[in-house]
Amino acid sequence: MTQDITPQIPATMRAFAIDRFGELGSLRALPTPTIGAGEMLVRVHAAGVNPIDWKIRDGFKAIEDVRFPLILGQDAAGVVVQVGPQVTRFAVGDEVYGGFWLAGAFAEYVWTSTSAAVALKPSRLDFIHAAALPTPALAALTALEAVALKEGETVLIVGATGGVGSYAVQMAARRGARVIVTARPDAESYIRQLGAAEVIDYTRSDVVAAVKAAHPEGIEAVVDVISDRAALLRMAETLRHGGRLATTVHSADEAALAARDIRATNVDVLGATRGLEEVARLIDTSGVAVPLERTFPLAEAAQALAAIQAGHVRGKIVLMVA
């Protein structure tokens, strides 16, 4: 039988949704999700805001079979309030966090399959900071694993001050790598605190030329979270033969780079089902920080999405739900 943490789960909930692609979205009352076997219901306390959220709002081409109204949001942290039959990994009352792909995290309740990217919340974090983790931290971890970064190697992280980049800098530094980053001058102090050893002001310097001047024999790895295909091909010029590159925005021409003896990976964590346990371990044991730019109430989700879309955000933006 289904277990409940409260005598009654409301029939409706507050949720931020759109009725068609391209609109700003609004807060409204929608039916609370129901669950089946192998599924659970989470009472959302906070929801992370990511670039993918405004892209989905605007009609991200990878989305199929969409039903409107569509609740936005992928990342959330909260408490399990209901579990269906066959659920063994979690119990009612567990504090969890995860990437609820297309389930709609900008809401008071979100459903998930227990085989999805969900894990126990890092014990040292509150819900707001935990909600800032799933997609960007998992992307950073996956990208670093793709380039197989080793102690003593040098990595260039392009787009280091945003959500993914902030975690990638810290994780790379804790692996013993020398971290070069691109950042605006006003972000230098912030990014050095996260572990950057070299900071290139991309508004005044040619990044590729600057890296080549400091490392004429080339560096071992590049992790890029912002560049298009043409820009990424040029960033790859910083690599020595046999270098490794990973991008989280699917802009790597893997064949062209392989011809230059560079192993390139287009990292994709949407729909991922594993890795958050390792992220939680890093948070709890290695001192990886969760930088927050700002929090918004759920009712101001449109403003939060606008801030993310405008760019130049340091760390994460999070919606406070409960």
Q: Are 45 and 78 in contact (CB under 8 A)?
A: yes
Residue 89: other Cβ atoms inside 10 A: 14
- What backbone torsions phi and psi does residue 254 show, to the nearest 5 degrees? -60, -40
Alpha-carbon dihedral angle through residues 158, 317, 32, 98, given to the nearest 10 degrees = 50
Q: Class of the 136-266 domain? A: alpha beta
pLDDT at position 62 is 65
- In 64-114, beta strands by DSSP E: 70-71, 75-83, 95-99, 109-113
Core vs surface per residue 233-249: b (16+ CB within 10 A) or e: bebbebbeeebbbbbbb
How far is CA 47 from its chain centroid?
A: 12
Domain boundaries, the chain: 3-133+290-320, 136-266
- Taking residues 203-221, report their average pLDDT: 97
The string of pLDDT tens digits covering residues 51-81 is 999 999 999 876 777 899 999 999 999 999 9
- Min mean pLDDT across 74-78, 86-90, 93-97, 313-317 is at 313-317
Closest CA to 50 of 129, 135, 173: 135
The string of pLDDT tens digits covering residues 126-152 is 999 999 999 999 999 999 999 999 999
CATH 3.30.2130.10 fits 3-133+290-320, yes or no: no
Residue ranges of alpha helices (H) inside 195-235 are 207-214, 229-235
Question: Is the model's pLDDT at 120 over the cut of 90?
Answer: yes
pLDDT at position 245 is 98
The model's pTM is: 0.91
d(CA 57, CA 174): 36
Question: Is the model's pLDDT at 261 over the cut of 90?
Answer: yes
